[in-house]
Amino acid sequence: MEKKNIALITGVTGQDGSYLSEFLLDKGYEVHGIIRRSSVDYRERIAHLEGKPDFHLHYADMGDSMSLVKLVGKVQPTEIYNLAAQSHVQVSFDAPEFTADVDAVGVLRILEAVRTNHLEHSCRIYQASTSELYGKVEEVPQNEQTPFHPYSPYAVAKLYGYWIVKEYREAYDMFCCSGILFNHESERRGETFVTRKITLAAARIAQGKQEKLYLGNLSSLRDWGYAKDYVECMWLILQQEKPEDYVIATGVQHSVREFAYLAFKTAGMELEFRGEGINEKGVCVAGPAHLVGKTLVEVSEDFYRPTDVVNLLGDPSKAKNELGWNPQSTSFEQLVSIMVKHDMQKVAADHVAGVMRTNLAEYLEKGITK
């Protein structure tokens, strides 16, 4: 009988972890995920997977070597996808030590857990690396040969992760690889990343639940793809004959301003951007009558970073040629549309739930019993 593929995913509750779990379960894998104890027991992105026979969750933490060693020994994975991270760049300026512990030393802990359990020649490891390594970019577009210049505590921590994976590959002949992924978004994206912040705000403003959106650097350029497409690459990277690192990107670049323009347009409001820098504003020039003429987007220094990465554009040629992956299967326009449509429905549903709660509260308050 053919041996079952067993995947262990760190960061299973995150955006990518949830899509990767679905992808691997569809491929017939037994999927194990690491969760950490939290005061809230509801895991929104994977709630629909919990209870499936091949989906298992275990408590552990990237900061706790012992828990990782024990878990790797218990699960005996054939593939590990190390996605767990403090993944917010701006937060890494506020919590640099925690970020280094999880995003840098955490990678080492996973590699050592595999060695300690003598799985170094049977278990393949994927490391979630990032385009943030290019940071203060030295060339555009960026490919696997572009020099790194990390530009935040997050990127510096991830650079350690990248190098320690390469080191273990060379020193111990382990099949461990980094996917250098450019930004990828979805309707499951965390709400403080710029794309989701914009699509949720556009939906709320369109439905009268929010007045204005405050953003930081509108001119920042990103290569945005769809997360669902990117998890396939993580798997493809581990199915190759030789362990190698790959840039995963769309090869198309847009500014934060362009993202906001299209998201608001999709939600029924046309914006015109006027002014510059901190004084730039997005004014509604077409759409619902009560919004026309109003400033819906403003810039706030609160969202500026001490050092900001402003020109990311990936060259996915290697992934396209060697993995056979299509970098353009979801266009920028489709991505924005998926996210805005989802958030328009979410905001409407939250509204209905809110009204129901209010009605129930009123009902109980009035002492009505039937």
User: What residues make contact with ligand GDD under the rule CB under 6 A?
Assistant: 87, 89-90, 130-132, 182-183, 192-194, 197, 215-217, 220, 222, 256, 303, 305, 308-310, 312
Query: For residue 231, what are its two tokens?
Result: 């998890």
Q: Please provide residue 222's backbone torsions phi and psi, each rounded to the nearest 5 degrees.
A: -135, 155
What distance in Å separates the CA atoms of residue 97 and residue 102, rounded to the nearest whole number? 9
- Catalytic residue, chosen from 10, 13, 78, 130, is 130
Q: How far is CA 231 from the centre of its chain?
A: 11
Interior CA angle at 339 toward 197 and 183, to 5°?
A: 70
Is residue 132 annotated as a catalytic residue, yes or no?
Answer: yes
What distance in Å separates the CA atoms of residue 225 and residue 185, rounded to the nearest whole number? 6
Query: In angstroms, what is the minimal distance from the CB of 118 to ligand GDD?
Result: 32
Is residue 276 annotated as a catalytic residue, yes or no?
Answer: no
Query: For residue 201, what are its two tokens?
Result: 């705000």
**Helix H or strand E encompassing 70:** helix 65-75
Q: Residue 220: which of ligand GDD, ligand NAP, none does it interact with, CB under 5 to 8 A by kind?
A: ligand GDD
Q: Residue 8: which of ligand GDD, ligand NAP, none does it interact with, CB under 5 to 8 A by kind?
A: none
What distance in Å separates the CA atoms of residue 250 and residue 248, rounded to the nearest whole number? 7
Query: In angstroms, what is the minimal distance from the CB of 130 to ligand GDD?
Result: 3
Query: In angstroms, what is the minimal distance from the CB of 222 to ligand GDD?
Result: 6
What distance in Å separates the CA atoms of residue 137 and residue 130, rounded to the nearest whole number? 13
CB of 36 or CB of 209, closer to ligand NAP: 36
CB of 62 or CB of 347, closer to ligand NAP: 62
Q: Quick check: 250 and 218 in contact, CB under 8 A? A: no
Query: For residue 109, what are its two tokens?
Result: 């802990």
Residues 6+ apart with CB under 8 A from 226: 184, 185, 186, 329, 330, 334, 335, 338
Is the four-CA dihedral 18, 23, 25, 29 of positive or negative sign?
A: negative
Whether the upstream peptide bond of residue 141 has omega within 30° of 0, thus cis, is yes
- Catalytic residue, chosen from 132, 185, 187, 258, is 132
Q: Residue 146: which of ligand GDD, ligand NAP, none does it interact with, CB under 5 to 8 A by kind?
A: none
CB of 95 or CB of 310, closer to ligand GDD: 310
CB of 6 or CB of 231, closer to ligand NAP: 231
CB of 77 or CB of 135, closer to ligand GDD: 135
Q: How far is CA 272 from the centre of its chain?
A: 29
CB of 68 or CB of 296, closer to ligand NAP: 68
Q: Which residue is nearest to ligand NAP (CB)?
A: 14
- Catalytic residue, chosen from 154, 162, 226, 246, is 154
What distance in Å separates the CA atoms of residue 237 and residue 247, rounded to the nearest whole number? 11
Is residue 116 annotated as a catalytic residue, yes or no?
Answer: no
Q: Residue 216: which of ligand GDD, ligand NAP, none does it interact with, CB under 5 to 8 A by kind?
A: ligand GDD
Report strand pairing: 79-82 vs 55-59.
unpaired
Q: Residue 62: which of ligand NAP, ligand GDD, none does it interact with, CB under 5 to 8 A by kind?
A: ligand NAP
Q: Residue 305: which of ligand NAP, ligand GDD, none does it interact with, CB under 5 to 8 A by kind?
A: ligand GDD
Residues in contact with ligand NAP by the rule CB under 6 A: 10-17, 34, 36, 38, 61-63, 83-87, 102, 128, 130, 181, 183-184, 190
Catalytic center residues: 130, 132, 154
